[in-house]
Chain A
Amino acid sequence: EDQVTQSPEALRLQEGESSSLNCSYTVSGLRGLFWYRQDPGKGPEFLFTLYSAGEEKEKERLKATLTKKESFLHITAPKPEDSATYLCASNYGQNFVFGPGTRLSVLP
């Protein structure tokens, strides 16, 4: 059974304090690894798709990387507006499995 796990469950950072979030997946052949941001009471917002080990993508203060077993979301010099829950997901065909998320709080 395909599974996606994330760590840590919650993370508190001071503004400007860089860190990384982890997503581990067990899938029978990687299709895609996706990162989303979710604000309270709202739908997930697409951030990145990674398909191949070694692939990296960047957007503003966020960089996503992928290995054969896990993905990292690196947050450089975060700001309070980066506070949200970050979700990763993987798919097989048109069936998507989401992880439980990492709840990030960035304090001013």
Chain B
Amino acid sequence: EPEVTQTPSHQVTQMGQEVILRCVPISNHLYFYWYRQILGQKVEFLVSFYNNEISEKSEIFDDQFSVERPDGSNFTLKIRSTKLEDSAMYFCASSGGQGAYEQYFGPGTRLTVT
């Protein structure tokens, strides 16, 4: 069964450093998403991506964040100048064609900023 994969599973970084979180969405899906979940809190939408551009983004997704689909399979989230409060679980998700909002989530990357 196709699934979304994410690497690394755990990333530890120092405050001020840049990190890149990687995702491989389900191969025939067209919409890609990043979410974060701070420990014990709810899942928060960051950004959606379609046709090689951002389609929607939340207030959380400021200039510190960027997304990219560098090739036909990977989808990345870059976080510049990390802060302690960026520590969270980051989930990638993908969904199929137009109107198909069922999202399939990856296992997540736990980001720890020290």
Summarize A's interface: helix, strand, loop or mixed.
strand
Q: Which of B4, B42, B44, B89 has the most CB of A within 10 A?
A: B42
Whether B84 sits at the interface, judged by CB under 8 Å, is no
Residues of B within 8 A of A36 (CB): 105
Summarize B's interface: helix, strand, loop or mixed.
strand
Contact A42 B107 (CB under 8 A): yes
Q: Please report the C-alpha to C-alpha distance between residue A42 and residue B109 in the assembled complex, in whole angstroms.
A: 10
Contact A98 B105 (CB under 8 A): no
Residues of A within 8 A of B41 (CB): 100
Residues of B within 8 A of A41 (CB): 89, 108
Q: Which residues of A are interface residues toward B (Cβ below 8 A)?
A: 31-32, 34, 36, 38, 41-46, 49, 87, 89, 91, 93-101
Q: Contacts A91-B101, A93-B56, A94-B31 given; indicate if A43 touches B107 (C-beta within 8 A).
A: yes
What is the CB-to-nearest-CB distance from B69 to chain A, in angstroms, rounded to a whole number? 15
Q: Which residues of B are interface residues toward A (Cβ below 8 A)?
A: 4, 31, 33, 35, 41-45, 48, 50, 55-56, 58, 89, 91, 93, 101-108
Residues of A within 8 A of B104 (CB): 46
Contact of B44 among A32, A34, A42, A98 (CB under 8 A): A98
